[in-house]
Structure 1
Amino acid sequence: MCSKLNLTEMSENKLDNLEKEVRELIKLSQQLKEVNDHLSNKNVQLSKENNKLSEKLKLAKEGIVKIIKNHKEK
């Protein structure tokens, strides 16, 4: 009888430990999702900034080419 009780206590203890681990994993998963969402939003923002800078660089290059061309013609 005592050994059955010990087995039951051990099983309950293991179940409690598993429940704790599951709760911790859920919490960690939620934190990772929040970090991932933040990084995803930051990536979108940086991509937009990169596109704007690329456009400005393209315009600057075109302007420099025109200046050089005009200078060579003189």
Structure 2
Amino acid sequence: MDGGRENFSPQTDLRDFLAACEENGQLEKVDGAHWDKEMGAVVEVLYRERVEKAKAVLFDNIPGYPQGYRTLYGMLASPYR
């Protein structure tokens, strides 16, 4: 038993990694969270218990930042990725 790693082949860049995470149910997307008021709280709640099972979190459409600026939390926080 490998903990769900069978579909995670080596990736060549971050886009490939994000696609693999999404394909394997290891990516949570959050749209419109405020960088100063919400992003840290969202990540803390998701990672408070069982960090090894928590998904990577991709924040998009961050208020006050240009379209296309995103942040990724927990990219390497789980042995399943």
The TM-score by the shorter chain falls in which range? under 0.3
- Higher helix fraction (1 or 2): 1
Provide the TM-score with structure 1 as the length reference.
0.21
- Higher strand fraction (1 or 2): 2
**Structure having the higher Rg:** 1
Provide the TM-score with structure 2 as the length reference.
0.19
